[in-house]
Amino acid sequence: MSLTVWGIMKKYVVFALSFTLLFPVTSFSAIKKPATKVAAVKKPVAKKSAVKKVVALPSAKPSPTPAKDWIDEGDSCDIAVTNTVKGYPKGLQTMDWLKCDDKTKKYIYIAPPKLDPTKPKQGDNCKGYSGIVEGYNHNFELVSLACNPTNSTFAPVVTIPTKPPLTTPSVALSDSNMFANLDKCKIIDGDSQTTNMTAGFPIPYGRIDLIKGAKVQIIGVDFADKAVTGKSPKDLNQNLADAVEKFWTAQSSVPVKFDWNWTPDWLRMPNPINSYSLGGSFFAGKFNPDTYFNFAREVISKTDSTINFSGVNFLFIVFPPGIKSEEIGTFMVHTQGTYSTQEGNILNLIMAGGDYANADTYIHEFGHALGLTDTRDTVDVGNQKSDGMFYDIMNNPRYPELLVWHRFLLGFLENSQIHCINSNEPTTHWLVPVASESKQVKGVVIPLNSTEAIIVESRRAMGFDTALSVSDNLMGAVVYTLDSKIPYHRTPVKVVQVLKNSESVVTNGFRVTVVESGDFGDVVKVEKVTN
Ligand SMILES: [Zn+2]
């Protein structure tokens, strides 16, 4: 949920901040165990919700032992009834996971040797779009976790390899030649106010065409009181560049190019970090755009004689890890300025400030430099909302696979991968999952007029959308509308309905029905309806 914030200087700046500020991951909660074991004191026994089997209390107990309704390490267990359960490890006053040992038939503590307390565990409470995070499953193995919205607890995501469909549908399909003329489906940008990004054709001037290639110059900057020793800017940031390249490369069915250029050393600013007045939360109104722009220009002027900026279309200014929001408060993407160098102008800038300069933020902000707009409600920057869209990195990092509309807009698809409805006769289309590595059809566009369309695509838990494996209601054929006139701060794309097999929906005079569904994606029928 990164948010691009459209400030009062609308013509000049787009700021972007990470959603991680808004949706913090809750940490572990500990339940205090009574210090004295008194039978009359009821001690809670937490059942592990993911385990369907009933928690078995110790069956045979010597008669003097009073009954208790909690489980301690060493209690008897039946492996056929219980595998893991919350209980009290020996010597601990807090509950943790115990497992039934099949040799001794007693509960044993399955404490991991080292557990990073900053990482969540399966079953921990979570909320909203916390993205895919690294955490522990019940066996304390490091896995990818996502927040299951139905019970607001972390669950392991099932990674499904991105492969071409293994099977094919049996339903007869319409002739693809009927949909090959894409002209009417190149819905134009209808928002004349927003000039640096768009929901419609064409991509604005200055944005990066990833097919031609992104040439990124990265300048590492440190400060007199934040000096880095022993590690280069690349050493400390390459994982982020890799994440950006991996994500955006995977979104395209045609080859894209990245050219990363790193300064070998940190540019040491002569004064303490706080003297540059870059601190303070954007949400608290502490962001001063001119200070950021001037800082970027100062960095360029100090490096212009040593860096060859020829062909560079994206400048990243990065800082050492551990910078706090009070020091540099805002992760800024600026696509409305001109940064002059001896070799030419650069029109896309990222200044990776704040303590939330993570991969999700970079990937989202990179999308702005390609020309994409935010597809969420950003009216209240501190309380952004999905606004009826649930997919795509420009909406949230949880189901980040790009909408087929964005792929079409960015030139990421072969022409044959979009079906454009050019007539009123009923048609049938096989849509492979949008996240699949496939050159087959990924979307149907039903143009309504020059600025509006209905779009259908297929979503599965594949690729970067593995968190869908815990959000079944968002898997299926997704029918959504595009209205490119909707101005910035609201999403121009909105989900009408996510259809399972044999379900249908009518919107804007068209009925869309799923007539077959499988691991191959969805077969959808499109019909004009008359009232
Ligand atoms: Zn944004």
* 504-515 residue pLDDT tens: 999 999 999 999
Cα 364 to ligand 1 centre (Å) = 6
Q: How confident is the model at residue 7 (pLDDT cuts 50, 70, 90)?
A: very low
What integer pLDDT is reported at residue 501 of this predicted model? Answer: 97
Sign of CA dihedral 330, 208, 388, 358: negative
Pairwise CA distance, residues 242 & 403, whole Å: 22
Cα 161 to ligand 1 centre (Å) = 28
What integer pLDDT is reported at residue 353 of this predicted model? Answer: 82
Cα 1 to ligand 1 centre (Å) = 8
Q: Residue 492 above 80 pLDDT? A: yes
At position 44, the amino acid (one-letter code) is: P
Cα 394 to ligand 1 centre (Å) = 6
What integer pLDDT is reported at residue 15 of this predicted model? Answer: 37
Cα 501 to ligand 1 centre (Å) = 34
Q: Cis (ω within 30 of 0) for the bond into 492?
A: no
Cα 526 to ligand 1 centre (Å) = 33
**DSSP SS3 for 282:** helix
What integer pLDDT is reported at residue 164 of this predicted model? Answer: 54
Cα 277 to ligand 1 centre (Å) = 24
Beta bridge partners of 447: 453
What integer pLDDT is reported at residue 187 of this predicted model? Answer: 98
Alpha-carbon separation of residue 412 from 104, 214, 221, 330, 383 (angstroms): 58, 14, 34, 30, 32
Cα 207 to ligand 1 centre (Å) = 15
369: Cα within 13 Å, side-chain hemisphere: 29
Pairwise CA distance, residues 318 & 237, whole Å: 8
More confident residue, 189 or 83: 189
Question: Which phi and psi angles does 260 have, rounded to 5°?
Answer: -95, 130
More confident residue, 136 or 343: 343
Cα 457 to ligand 1 centre (Å) = 23
Alpha-carbon separation of residue 191 from 150, 188, 420 (angstroms): 36, 9, 23
Q: Are 463 and 277 a contacting pair, CB within 8 Å?
A: no
Helices (H) and strands (E) in the chain, counts: 4, 25
Q: How confident is the model at residue 357 (pLDDT cuts 50, 70, 90)?
A: confident
Which pLDDT tens digit goes with each residue over 12-36?
223 333 332 222 222 222 333 333 3
**Looking up tokens 């950006």, which residue turns up?**
244
Cα 524 to ligand 1 centre (Å) = 32
Cα 384 to ligand 1 centre (Å) = 11
Pairwise CA distance, residues 314 & 207, whole Å: 9
Pairwise CA distance, residues 16 & 350, whole Å: 9
**DSSP SS3 for 235:** helix
Cα 72 to ligand 1 centre (Å) = 50
More confident residue, 382 or 164: 382
Pairwise CA distance, residues 167 & 437, whole Å: 14
Average pLDDT taken over every residue of the chain: 84
Cα 276 to ligand 1 centre (Å) = 25
What integer pLDDT is reported at residue 31 of this predicted model? Answer: 31
What integer pLDDT is reported at residue 365 of this predicted model? Answer: 96
Cα 331 to ligand 1 centre (Å) = 11
- The pLDDT > 70 percentage for the chain reads 83
What integer pLDDT is reported at residue 109 of this predicted model? Answer: 86
Closest CA to 491 of 403, 370, 386: 386
Pairwise CA distance, residues 308 & 471, whole Å: 47
The DSSP secondary-structure symbol of 284 reads: G
What integer pLDDT is reported at residue 159 of this predicted model? Answer: 62
Cα 76 to ligand 1 centre (Å) = 55
Q: Residue 48 above 70 pLDDT? A: no
Question: Which ranges in 38-189 belong to alpha helices (H)?
Answer: none
Cα 338 to ligand 1 centre (Å) = 19
**DSSP SS3 for 186:** coil
Which pLDDT tens digit goes with each residue over 108-124?
887 666 788 888 988 88
More confident residue, 435 or 37: 435
Q: How confident is the model at residue 42 (pLDDT cuts 50, 70, 90)?
A: very low
The DSSP secondary-structure symbol of 415 reads: G
What integer pLDDT is reported at residue 165 of this predicted model? Answer: 56
Cα 265 to ligand 1 centre (Å) = 30
What integer pLDDT is reported at residue 129 of this predicted model? Answer: 59
Cα 378 to ligand 1 centre (Å) = 9
What integer pLDDT is reported at residue 130 of this predicted model? Answer: 61
Cα 39 to ligand 1 centre (Å) = 56
At position 201, the amino acid (one-letter code) is: F
Cα 445 to ligand 1 centre (Å) = 25
Most confident of the ranges 17-26, 128-137, 356-365, 482-491: 482-491
Cα 436 to chain centroid, rounded: 17
Cα 282 to ligand 1 centre (Å) = 14
Closest CA to 49 of 125, 107, 132, 118: 125
Q: Residue 51 above 70 pLDDT? A: no
What integer pLDDT is reported at residue 84 of this predicted model? Answer: 77
Q: How many CB atoms lie within 10 A of CB 524?
A: 26
Closest CA to 203 of 412, 17, 351, 13: 412
Cα 62 to ligand 1 centre (Å) = 64
Cα 372 to ligand 1 centre (Å) = 9
Beta bridge partners of 445: 420, 455
Cα 59 to ligand 1 centre (Å) = 57
Pairwise CA distance, residues 257 & 244, whole Å: 12
Cα 397 to ligand 1 centre (Å) = 11
